[in-house]
Structure 1
Amino acid sequence: MFFKRKTKTPCRACGENASLDVVGKVAPTHPGPFHTSEFELLHCPECDSVYLNPAPTDDDLRVLYEESVQFADDHYTSDEQIGKILEYYGSAVRDRQLLSHGEARVLEVGAGFAWVSRASKDADASCFTVAQDVSAECADKCAWVDQYHVGSLESLPASEKFDLASMTHVIEHLVDPESMLGAISSRLKVGGKLFVTAPHRPTGWSPKMGIDAWKAYSYLHVPAHVTYFSDTWFKRVAPRHGMKIVHWDAQHEDGQAFELVLQRI
């Protein structure tokens, strides 16, 4: 299967002029009323990212995150699942050396149940945790969070500096992920780290394979998941905001998800 090549246009993910490839059409996977039911996936050969076109609107995002219940099922609440989640994030905090000293300040963006904050507290009770989310759904359910802020990241004081920030399965939901990287970087101390996890792509997918694998991909959430990133995207974008890659692993879940650590320089 081959793509229909488009004329060069700015990539919404990296900003470079590129001949974007049309991977194929995808239908909404969420029942909410959205501004359109006609979506497609585009691939940028410059940054090797795949993203949804058109992007969800502000009203679409409100339906998805402020007018929906996101964390009620057993995937988030069963004792077995919580154990698995904390085992993973606990090992990440330890193995990636995300907490470099005592009394660290931790910022969790798009926190939900704030698992990184909880794993950080388990690793070092002296750390101070701040969780941010646009939804109040989990705000009163996270006793391990010292400050749970409901609202945009921009509404937090810009003067607060952190040793560790995290976005776990958050960045794929953002229409303007580069702006968020910049906003987080500005809140990190020099040497501070940003821990990111997100969907990557269907196992073994390459740009010439087309849309079929994406339609069977468990992380194809339309229009909630806006962009599927690559290490190339982060290598291009992170230095613009004073950050560098110190860890990249795209082998999670048989290559379907990635783990990344950026450091403020």
Structure 2
Amino acid sequence: MRKLARVLPQAWRNRLRAWQLRGMAAWRDRAEAAQAPLQETAVHCRFCGTAGARHRVLGDVPLTHPGPFRQNAYRLLHCNVCDVVHLDPEPGAADLSTLYEDSVQFSDETYSGDAQALRVLEGYGRRLDRLGLVPDAGQALLEVGAGLAWISRACKQRRDGVHTVAQDVSGECAARCPWVDHYHVGPLRSLPSERRFALASMTHVIEHLTDPAAMLAELHARLLPGGKVYVTAPHRPPLWRAGDGIRPWLRYEYLHVPAHVAYLSRTWFERVAAGLGFELVGWDTSHDGHQVLEAVLRKREEA
């Protein structure tokens, strides 16, 4: 099976992995009690702004990070209007600070091992090449929530004349990224706004934001006309459908509570893009066995 997978096109390999993951979950589910029918509730959607939007109550989800947190009980809701799956209630500012500013996130082998670093770097490099996103020499890239700044590193490998700017609320990785020309520690709004960027990236960042639309609006103001935003983020458990309920989420490797605030949708990106002056020019949910989305937004040319 592994030999066969290696010769298949990447899209087929992603689909095969998705069916493997889904099949293993279904096999485990047979031994469990029947799932209760999904309930619905009408609440204001924090992501599309619809008052009284109908939401499916998928179910309760446990904390996956150690505290100390002020809020310890969460459930997942699925908005019928914008198709976003999100945590309820919204994590508070103090708990988000505990997660990102008061913790160490990039110390284990996943991030520091040479083999893993090469694999991650090659993966992002292939995506940038395929999508034609590497800025021209003399242009600038902004990497938001950069961590180890993989996108900056991949762009520098391909075009040394690209000016790289990384931003993160934590300074944990600031001294570990010599491929970054300027590493800004602090919220994006505190970064000087004079420079305009050809590309802004958020790789596994947007799912952590309580107001992702506000972040995209901030990036729109910092982009050149025709500039692009590259986004990757957790999307759904493999091939998940709304009727599948909560069980696939409880086994989803990207269920991070309370770190991952929302699992966004194509509908949400299209709605936000239209309102901000973007076009959604790229959309792919096949990555990592149909668990991760990739979106590309393009700033419309100014008149």
In which range does the TM-score fall when normalised by the shorter chain? over 0.9
Q: Deviations over 1:96-142 (max 9, x none)?
A: 11125222200000000000000010110000000000000000000
* Alpha-carbon separation, structure 2, partners of 1:2 and 1:116: 43
Aligned residue type for 2:63: P
Query: Any idea what SS the aligned residue of 1:20 has?
Result: strand
Q: Which runs of 5+ in 2 are unaligned?
A: 1-35
Aligned residue type for 2:50: E
Instruction: Kindly indicate whether residue 128 of structure 2 is the aligned counterpart of residue 93 of structure 1.
Output: yes
Q: Deviations over 1:28-52 (max 9, x none)?
A: 1111111221100000011111000
Number of the residue aligned with 1:264: 299
Q: Deviations over 1:2-42 (max 9, x none)?
A: 321113x3211111231111110011111111122110000
Of 105-114 and 151-160, the range deviating more from structure 2: 151-160
Number of the residue aligned with 1:14: 48
* 1:219 aligned to which of 243, 250, 254: 254
Number of the residue aligned with 1:108: 143
Q: Which has the larger Rg?
A: 2
Q: Deviations over 1:155-197 (max 9, x none)?
A: 0122321000000000000011110010011101110010000
* Alpha-carbon separation, structure 2, partners of 1:100 and 1:74: 30
* 2:280 aligned to which of 245, 250, 254: 245
Number of the residue aligned with 1:45: 80
Identity over aligned residues, as a percent?
Answer: 51
* Alpha-carbon separation, structure 1, partners of 2:44 and 2:160: 46
Query: Any idea what SS the aligned residue of 2:128 has?
Result: helix
Query: Any idea what SS the aligned residue of 1:61 has?
Result: helix
- Shift >6 Å, 4+ stretches: none
* Alpha-carbon separation, structure 1, partners of 2:119 and 2:50: 39
* Alpha-carbon separation, structure 1, partners of 2:47 and 2:68: 25
Number of the residue aligned with 2:189: 154
* Alpha-carbon separation, structure 1, partners of 2:97 and 2:41: 32
Number of the residue aligned with 2:157: 122
Of 35-44 and 91-100, the range deviating more from structure 2: 91-100
Query: Any idea what SS the aligned residue of 1:145 has?
Result: coil
Taking structure 1 as the reference length, the TM-score comes to 0.97
Aligned residue type for 2:55: L
* Alpha-carbon separation, structure 1, partners of 2:117 and 2:289: 22
Instruction: Kindly indicate whether residue 170 of structure 2 is the aligned counterpart of residue 135 of structure 1.
Output: yes
Number of the residue aligned with 2:210: 175
Shift of 1:232: 0.9
* Alpha-carbon separation, structure 1, partners of 2:181 and 2:243: 48
Of 216-225 and 9-18, the range deviating more from structure 2: 9-18
Q: How many pairs align?
A: 264
* Alpha-carbon separation, structure 2, partners of 1:158 and 1:83: 33
Q: Deviations over 1:194-226 (max 9, x none)?
A: 000000010021111111100000000000000
Number of the residue aligned with 2:220: 185
Aligned residue type for 1:30: H
* Alpha-carbon separation, structure 2, partners of 1:247 and 1:148: 28
Q: Which runs of 5+ in 1 are unaligned?
A: none
Query: Any idea what SS the aligned residue of 1:112 has?
Result: coil
* Alpha-carbon separation, structure 2, partners of 1:229 and 1:151: 25
Taking structure 2 as the reference length, the TM-score comes to 0.85
Which structure shows the higher helix fraction?
A: 2
